[in-house]
Amino acid sequence: MPSKYLIIALFGIIPFLFFQSSSAKDGFESLYKDGPIDDDYDESLDEKWKEGKVTIPSLPNEDDLIPIAIDKNRTRFQHFIDKKTISVGEDRVIRYSIVLKSTNGVSNVFYEGIRCATKEYRTYAIASGNKFNPMKKSKWKYIGHSHYYRLDLYENYLCDRMSNSPFNKDQVVRRIEHNDEYQGWMYD
């Protein structure tokens, strides 16, 4: 013989289920009686992203470089960013010059940009001799795990991942100079 609690539970649930199914059905029908809600959305009115004009800076001065703490498990290089070249364009791309120094003193210098909204980077120029040489056919590329320092820059220094937008120059410099406080944090 079923317990009285089971009977009470069944009589309490059955009317509730009936009420929910009939009102939900009516609610959905009335919601879509004129078609899907976004039926009149016009994608052609969306603004397409367009990259702004890029001006390649001069090579960084040693005095303007600030060291960046990049995950030591992924690299043997020391990383420095040129604080004078950090900028955010109207296109919402954050651009910077970065120096990678090997343990034997050889440096590689790049002028790059990161698009926080899409987690992509682009190398605009590579140093050769006493100047930057523009990359003729550089394209936007996704920042994956093999792009170790760019991933650290994206995650810890340059991009507010809550809003998918770049930090401003002062915020970036502060985050780099106080990296222990910000490491792994998504917003400033």
Residue 116 belongs to a domain: yes
Residue 41, token pair as written in the block: 């959305």
Asked, for residue 86, whether it belongs to a domain, the answer is yes
Q: Is the pTM of this model over 0.95?
A: no
Instruction: Report the distance separating Cα 20 and Cα 47, nearest Å.
Output: 42
d(CA 33, CA 131): 65
Residue 187, pLDDT > 50, answer: no
CA–CA distance, 69 with 156 (Å, rounded to integer): 10
Average pLDDT, the chain: 80
Quick check: 152 and 188 in contact, CB under 8 A? no
Residue 113's nearest CA partner among 134, 127, 87, 94 is: 94
The domain containing residue 67 runs over which residues? 62-182
pLDDT tens string 55-114: 999 999 999 999 998 876 667 889 999 999 999 999 999 999 999 999 898 999 999 999
Is residue 37 situated within a structural domain? no
Do 87 and 17 fall into the same domain? no
Q: How many domains does the structure of the chain reveal? A: 2
Q: What is the mean pLDDT of residues 164-178?
A: 92
